[in-house]
Amino acid sequence: MKLKDKISIVTGGARGIGAKICEELLKEGATVYIFDVNDKEGKEAAGRLQSAYGNGRAYFFNVDITDENEVKKTIDEIVKVQGRIDILVNNAGITIDNLIMRMNLADWKKVIEVNLTGAFICSKHVVKNMIKKRSGKIINISSIVGVHGNAGQCNYSASKAGIIGFTKSLAKEVASRNIMVNAVAPGYIQTEMTHKLDENVRRKLMSLIPAGKLGSVDDVAKAVLFLAGEDSDYITGIVLNVDGGMGI
């Protein structure tokens, strides 16, 4: 087991990519704390994971990552019980798409707040403990859209490009304390979001992916696992594309 006894936090772990990341971390021996605002799916996910991996291994906290007091209080509680946090996966993210002329300021701010500010808040309060322990892994989920842009997603792509800049700056700041900070940039992944695509859009997308298929949550979770474990101990500040070659 590559992550035996490691303590991890996965934001947005109630469903989708985050839920798969939780499962992969648990399989490798880590204990997982889910921070998510989706109470129903968060409780269900934690229950499912506890049945599969043991009661003391998976927990759900209804935490809004944009609320600094709530995040700090919950991280302090975990550190009090566990003594440390080894891995943080900043995965929670939302989309509120529109063309710029129709995009409200509120929808711009909301997406930046959750996708970028949320990652800043969680990282800030976890890094304090990681610096003390001289060890840690932070993995930020960006997107191919943060690298290449996408019409109708100015707010989302700005937040995901911001995540890349944030990752590189924080990596430089804390590398000397043995804290490695990396990003994963998924392409189009089979989730509820992409299930809704109509056949024409799906066909057009396929033609842009050299691998000829959408990615799976498994593909993303495996990349996160690599960056969370000791196989990547000398890697920091990178953006690992998981996109079937779409970004080439």
Does the protein bind ligand NDP through residue 16 (CB under 6 A)?
yes
Q: Min. distance of Cβ 54 from ligand NDP in angstroms?
A: 23
165-181 b/e (C-beta count within 10 Å ≥ 16 → b): ebbbebbeebeeeebbb
Catalytic residue among 53, 156, 188, 234: 156
Return the C-alpha torsion angle 61, 4, 237, 160, nearest 10: -30
In the complex with ligand NDP, the residue whose CB is nearer, 31 or 143, is 143
Pairing of strands 7-11, 58-62: unpaired
Selected range binding ligand NDP among 14-22, 78-86, 120-128, 167-175, rule: CB under 6 A:
14-22
Q: How far apart are CA 236 and CA 248, in angstroms?
A: 21
In the structure encoding, which two tokens stand for residue 81, read together? Answer: 């019980």
In the complex with ligand NDP, the residue whose CB is nearer, 18 or 162, is 18
How far is Cα of residue 152 from the mean position of the Cα atoms in its chain? 22
Q: Min. distance of Cβ 40 from ligand NDP in angstroms?
A: 9
In the complex with ligand NDP, the residue whose CB is nearer, 141 or 223, is 141
Q: How far apart are CA 45 and CA 23, in angstroms?
A: 10
- Are 25 and 87 in contact by the 8 Å Cβ rule? The answer is yes
Active site residue 188: no
- Are 233 and 182 in contact by the 8 Å Cβ rule? The answer is no
Which of 31, 123, 129, 143 touches ligand NDP by CB under 6 A? 143
Does the protein bind ligand NDP through residue 119 (CB under 6 A)?
no
Does the protein bind ligand NDP through residue 191 (CB under 6 A)?
yes
Considering only residues 71 to 110 of the shown chain, the ones binding ligand NDP according to CB under 6 A are: 91-94
Q: Min. distance of Cβ 20 from ligand NDP in angstroms?
A: 8
Which of 9, 30, 32, 114 touches ligand NDP by CB under 6 A? 114
How far is Cα of residue 161 from the mean position of the Cα atoms in its chain? 14
Contacting positions for ligand NDP (CB under 6 A): 11-12, 14-18, 35-38, 41, 64-66, 91-94, 114, 118, 141, 143, 186, 188-189, 191-194
